[in-house]
Each structure stands twice: as C-alpha cells, then as structure tokens.
C-alpha cells in the first residue's frame, strides 16, 4: 500500500488511490473511486462511488462528495462543504442513474459549509466563500459569496484578491504575477 489509511477509515473495493495520499479517521471511500497522489482526506469524509479526485486535492473534515463529482488537481474543499448530485430529490423516487456531473477545475477553492448544486462547473482557481450556495457555473478566477452565490471579484492563482485598473490589468499581491481582465474573463499573463 503506497498511501496511508487510518485504521478507522473504510475503503471499498475497486478504488485506485495514489502514492502519498492520506485518509484519516472515520472516512468512507465507496467503490471504484479514483484519488490521486498526495491527497489529504480529512476526518469523517464521505466519498461516494465513482468519484474522481486529482492530485494534491485537500478535503477537510466532514465533507460529502457524491457520485458525479470530478475534482481536478490542487482543489481545496473546506470543512463541512457539500456537493449534491440530483436537483429534485425525493425519498420515494429513485433517481439513481440520473446523477448530474459537477466539475471542480484545477486549483479551485471551496470554503467551509459551502454547497455546490449539481450540474455546474467551478472554474480554474475560482474561490467560493464560506457558506456560499453555488447554483450556476463559475468562471475561472472568480470570487463568489452568499446565498445564492454571486460574484464579487477575482482571485489570483495564489489566493489573493485581484484589483484591476482601468486598463484591465492587475498584479497578485502575493507573487507579483500579472493578470488581464477582458470581456469578463481573467487570464494570467
């Protein structure tokens, strides 16, 4: 075994778990999941069948990741955040096989207690604030807060808020990297 699994964690059959990954107390990984290298799966995390997590994904305590979710490399999932996979659940109506896909692109951050409604894509390096409820696609580098989540700004790859000048240019306060805002899209220069 090339990864660490706490003795109280449960990993069902058919899972592919990368080198250096750590799965902590009372977490449950259901069948046929793929978890990349150097991931950290916190305490009391539930990962449903067929979920795909890329490399270096950080999943904090008490997170639920349901079937249909795909997280690319370097994603951060904050404490107690949750995904959904059906828009109209009913206890008496089985909707297995109707799960919608949700994509979290490279480097995105989802804050504590946020909810991501299924069928949406969280763009690269987007930043979802604590407690936000995401009901639509999120652009790359966007900062969203509130319920329903609304965009209030832009974030750098390094996780700093970007302040664009009248020419649509900004520098990351942490790294000095340059960004351009054009037609409501941010690009690293």
Task: Measure the CA–CA gap between 118 and 154, rounded to whole angstroms.
Answer: 23
Domain holding 100, by residue range, is 4-155
| Measured CA angle at 185 (ends 153, 183), to 5 deg | 110
pLDDT tens-digit readout, 26-35: 999 999 999 9
- Pair (173, 90) in one structural domain: no
pLDDT at position 97, please?
Answer: 85
CB burial string 61-91: b at 16+ within 10 A, e below: bbbbbbbbbbbbbbbbbbbbbbbbbbeeeee
- Pair (49, 101) in one structural domain: yes
Q: Which candidate, 126, 128, 123, places its Cα nearest to that of 148?
A: 128
- Pair (95, 168) in one structural domain: no
- Pair (126, 185) in one structural domain: no
pLDDT at position 1, please?
Answer: 80
- Pair (102, 167) in one structural domain: no
Question: Structural domain tally of the chain?
Answer: 2
- Pair (37, 97) in one structural domain: yes
Distance from chain centroid for Cα 80: 12
Q: Average model confidence (pLDDT) for the chain?
A: 97
- Pair (47, 134) in one structural domain: yes
Q: Which candidate, 159, 147, 88, 87, places its Cα nearest to that of 120?
A: 87
CATH of the domain at 46: 2.160.10.10
- Pair (75, 50) in one structural domain: yes
Omega of the bond leading into 82 within 30 degrees of 0 (cis): no
- Pair (95, 121) in one structural domain: yes
pLDDT tens-digit readout, 126-138: 999 999 999 999 9
- Pair (23, 98) in one structural domain: yes
- Pair (148, 173) in one structural domain: no
Q: Which residue has the tokens 């305590």?
A: 61
* pLDDT beneath 70, residues of the chain: none
- Pair (36, 115) in one structural domain: yes
């Amino acid at each position: 075994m090339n990864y660490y699994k706490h003795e109280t964690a449960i990993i069902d059959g058919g899972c592919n778990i990368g080198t250096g990954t750590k799965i902590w107390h009372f977490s449950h990984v259901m069948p046929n999941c793929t978890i990349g290298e150097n991931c950290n799966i916190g305490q009391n995390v539930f990962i449903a069948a067929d979920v795909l997590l890329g490399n270096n994904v950080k999943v904090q305590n008490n997170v639920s990741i349901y079937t249909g979710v795909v997280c690319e490399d370097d994603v951060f999932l904050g404490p107690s955040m949750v995904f959904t996979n059906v828009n109209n659940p009913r206890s008496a109506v089985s909707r297995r096989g109707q799960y919608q896909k949700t994509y979290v692109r490279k480097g995105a951050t989802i804050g504590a207690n946020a909810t991501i409604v299924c069928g949406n894509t969280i763009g690269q390096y987007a930043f979802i604030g604590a407690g936000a409820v995401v009901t639509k696609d999120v652009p790359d580098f966007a900062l969203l807060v509130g319920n329903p989540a609304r965009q209030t700004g832009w974030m750098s790859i390094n996780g700093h808020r970007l302040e664009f000048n009248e020419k649509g240019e900004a520098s990351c306060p942490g790294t000095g990297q340059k960004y351009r805002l054009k037609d409501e899209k941010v690009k690293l220069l």
